[in-house]
Amino acid sequence: METLISKFKKVAPKAALLMAVAAGAALQGCNKTGGDDSDKAVDSDAASAVYVAPGEHDELYSFLSGGFNGQMSVYGIPSGRLLKIIPVFSQFPENGYGYNEETKPMLQTSHGFVPWDDLHHPKLSRTDGMADGRWLFVNGNNTPRVARIDLKTFETVEIMEIPNSAGNHCSPYPTNNNEYVIAGTRFSVPLDMKGGTADVSMEEYKDKFRGSISFIKVDKEDGDMELDFQVLVPGFDYDLANGGKGPSNDWVFFTTYNTEKSATLKELGASQNDRDYLAAINWKLAAKYAAEGKAHEMPANYYHNKLDHGSFQAKSEVKKTVRYLLPEECPGMMYLLPAPKSPHGIDVDPTGEYMVVNGKLASSLPVFSFSKMEEAIKNKDFDGEVNGIPVFKYESVLYGEVKEPGLGPLHTEFDGKGNAYSTMFVSSEVVKWNVKDLKVTDRIPVYYSPGHLMIPGGDTEKPYGKYLVVMNKITKDRFLPTGPELMHSAQLIDISGEKMKMLLDFPTVAEPHYAQAIKADLVAPNSVKFHKLDENTHPEAVKNEKDVSVTRKGKTVTVKMTAIRSHLTPDNIEGIQVGDTVLFHVTNLEQDWDVPHGFAVMGANNAETLIMPGATQTLRWVPKQEGVFPFYCTDFCSALHQEMQGYVRVSPKGSNVPIKFRMGEKRPVPPATASVN
């Protein structure tokens, strides 16, 4: 297993070489002609393949992670059109997520309110190893968290912090029936054995730093998550994970790097050993150990935030303990497979027999065999151990190696027809190879520096092998230039034939790290169109205009308001004072699809909030100036939208202007629970 580094070792000092690898992404230069495309030669087959005519729908939903924007984005395939951004870990001024009172608790953590995260990996919930279209699990890579999105409403409904973790990167991986969602720490840290990290010097890395893998239970009916137990693992970095399937159903696999346990200079320090590891954990056995009393318990302090469906309100619960297993006390639960230096992705083929380790610095792609691993366990075919965890002999678990597939392999997916597709970050290509004979059969250049790739269902037992989406890290000249900061870029490739065919470049918001895709008919029919006003249990909801109110209690003024085309009720409010806390609880009385109303007040030290039909949302305002301030509907809703407006009067502190509001008794009052159209 020759690595790029060892290859070059003879001719240049290591440091310079690492830089060359690091910089490799940019070596291709810029091959764009640019400018006007009036004389473009159109490939009409490709054009037709990606064209979704007005009024038609895309064939597939694809869910691309937003990376450093902290959100999920939904793209239609094959059109490449952005259909929605779903706010998850970051504030979203567009609809008030993380600003309004209902959703602020979603972003609470043990560190306080955290307005941002780095969302890496989406994984669809599974039934019998296949994506079932119910939920999407996603990870917060910075402040360790796992979130769940409900695909009936395309909303984030749950966010759970992960204790004993630092950078929740190899996460979240559901088992084949969502028995567990598994989340591994990226960085090891010195655990304080109270769920957090300890105040120790980085000099003590080798002795005191430790990793953790979390096993989160998922409720079969409603999807609610619960942290069942953790496995405390050696102080490596953990990069990516994937679950087994078929024969390997009970196992989950993790790539590791920095098995050198270097606390500094990681680009050198974590690249010393010729081999790092693929870690294998038998999650069923782990669960059994945990259930049978092998688990220890430690105090902890982590947030678990849930959005209540009926009231639209998020609530935080702080959890106070966490259970953990130690591998050295649980024989047969965890093993290490020697893997090429600093591996990135680990991908298990649809049969569950082959585990592909993408060694970013390696010149070959090793494929491990699950049946050989089982055999090696039986035969105790080990080559020592680390922290009590047996290490297999490389040859005893290796199926074979794909020789010189390209430079910088990062990720692999499968088409269900016996083929694998791997991204080569440094040589900027997708390489197709045969899983049985490990021969490369096709390669296609991609622009530039691909990270993840995704075949719809390509990580399940039955891939839908028609399209491949490759997510590139460098965009440079692929689209019209937009200054120094560019969108990332995805490319859609047709993989239905023997040779891959490039169909489309499409820009992607922020940085998609991974994606999932699913046939539209598994999601679309269940999509909720509006909330039923009758079922709205928000404590401040008003379901009829006659019940609106403005009341003062000390320095807090509560406004219960309604919105319906084309008025807000009440629309004149007086008696507010500078420094009051004003809570506008706005209920959207509409009962039809796609008639949101928005609510904002001039000079508000907050975002607006967008209110879906049937829902109630709350905007908090602390006026700083006296005067008269307009408020209005922010989402153009009708021909009289510009008239959907009111005023709030703010008097000085201590003023004797009484609370007063105008109901608008002369305006047309539609029946509160019926549609107006």
CA 341 and chain centroid, separation: 27
Q: Which residues contact 126 (CB under 8 A, 6 or more apart)?
A: 132, 174, 175, 176, 177, 178, 460
Q: Does 595 bind a second copy (CB under 8 A)?
A: yes
Instruction: Return the H-helix or E-strand segment holding 335.
Output: strand 334-340
The correct pick among 432, 476, 538, 560 for binding a second copy (CB under 8 A) is: 476
DSSP conformation class of 32? -
**What is the edge-to-edge ordering of all strands in the sheet holding 398-403?**
343-348, 354-359, 364-369, 398-403
Span 121-140, contacts to a second copy by CB under 8 A: none
Span 601-620, contacts to a second copy by CB under 8 A: 601-608, 610, 612-613, 615
The correct pick among 189, 336, 402, 435 for binding a second copy (CB under 8 A) is: 189
| Exposed/middle/buried for residue 152 (C-beta within 10 Å: 0-12, 13-18, 19+) | middle
What is the Cα–Cα distance from 660 to 214, expressed in whole angstroms?
54
Of 282 and 617, which has the nearer Cβ to a second copy?
617
Closest-CA residue to 426 (of 358, 495, 500): 358
Burial 339-375 (b: 16+ CB within 10 A, else e): bbbbbbbbbbbbbbbbbbbbbbbbbbbbbbbbebbee
The correct pick among 392, 425, 464, 584 for binding a second copy (CB under 8 A) is: 425
Span 356-385, contacts to a second copy by CB under 8 A: 360-361
Q: What is the DSSP string of 222-272?
A: T--EEEEEEEEE-SSEEEEEEE--GGGTTEEEEEEE-TT--SS-HHHHTT-
Among 110-118, 274-282, 287-295, 347-355, the segment contacting a second copy (CB under 8 A) = 110-118
Least gap, CB of 124 to a second copy (angstroms): 15
Span 208-237, contacts to a second copy by CB under 8 A: 209, 237
CA 411 and chain centroid, separation: 17
Of 285 and 528, which has the nearer Cβ to a second copy?
528
The correct pick among 285, 326, 386, 509 for binding a second copy (CB under 8 A) is: 509
Number of residues that bind a second copy (CB under 8 A): 205
The correct pick among 6, 110, 316, 558 for binding a second copy (CB under 8 A) is: 110
The correct pick among 23, 291, 318, 674 for binding a second copy (CB under 8 A) is: 23
**Cα three-residue angle 133-136-137, rounded to 5 degrees:** 145
**Cα three-residue angle 465-466-469, rounded to 5 degrees:** 95
Least gap, CB of 462 to a second copy (angstroms): 17
Q: Does 15 bind a second copy (CB under 8 A)?
A: yes
The correct pick among 630, 653, 671, 673 for binding a second copy (CB under 8 A) is: 630
Span 518-577, contacts to a second copy by CB under 8 A: 519-521, 523-524, 527-531, 565-567, 571-572, 574
Measured over the CA atoms of residue 194, residue 197, residue 203 and residue 205, the dihedral's sign is: positive
The span from the first CA to the last CA of the chain, in angstroms, equals 69
The correct pick among 662, 671, 673, 674 for binding a second copy (CB under 8 A) is: 662
Span 447-466, contacts to a second copy by CB under 8 A: 447, 451
Q: Does 101 bind a second copy (CB under 8 A)?
A: no
| Exposed/middle/buried for residue 427 (C-beta within 10 Å: 0-12, 13-18, 19+) | buried
Q: Does 427 bind a second copy (CB under 8 A)?
A: no
Span 241-280, contacts to a second copy by CB under 8 A: 257-258, 263-268, 270-271
Least gap, CB of 39 to a second copy (angstroms): 10
CA-CA distances (angstroms) from residue 206 to 167, 202, 269? 19, 9, 13
Closest-CA residue to 333 (of 288, 275, 297): 288
Of 544 and 655, which has the nearer Cβ to a second copy?
655
Among 122-130, 197-205, 279-287, 321-329, the segment contacting a second copy (CB under 8 A) = 197-205
Span 275-334, contacts to a second copy by CB under 8 A: none
The correct pick among 221, 292, 485, 498 for binding a second copy (CB under 8 A) is: 485
What is the Cα–Cα distance from 468 to 458, expressed in whole angstroms?
9
What is the Cα–Cα distance from 216 to 86, expressed in whole angstroms?
23
Least gap, CB of 525 to a second copy (angstroms): 9
The correct pick among 12, 19, 318, 674 for binding a second copy (CB under 8 A) is: 19
What is the Cα–Cα distance from 590 to 588, expressed in whole angstroms?
6
Site map 169..188 versus a second copy, x via CB under 8 A: -----------------xx-
Least gap, CB of 647 to a second copy (angstroms): 6
Q: Does 25 bind a second copy (CB under 8 A)?
A: yes
Site map 404..423 versus a second copy, x via CB under 8 A: ----x---------------
The correct pick among 121, 473, 538, 560 for binding a second copy (CB under 8 A) is: 473
The correct pick among 418, 628, 653, 673 for binding a second copy (CB under 8 A) is: 628
**Cα three-residue angle 519-522-524, rounded to 5 degrees:** 95
Least gap, CB of 669 to a second copy (angstroms): 9
What is the Cα–Cα distance from 394 to 278, expressed in whole angstroms?
11
Q: Which residues contact 555 (CB under 8 A, 6 or more apart)?
A: 577, 579, 580, 581
Of 60 and 435, which has the nearer Cβ to a second copy?
60
Among 94-102, 282-290, 303-311, 432-440, the segment contacting a second copy (CB under 8 A) = 94-102
The correct pick among 207, 328, 547, 643 for binding a second copy (CB under 8 A) is: 643
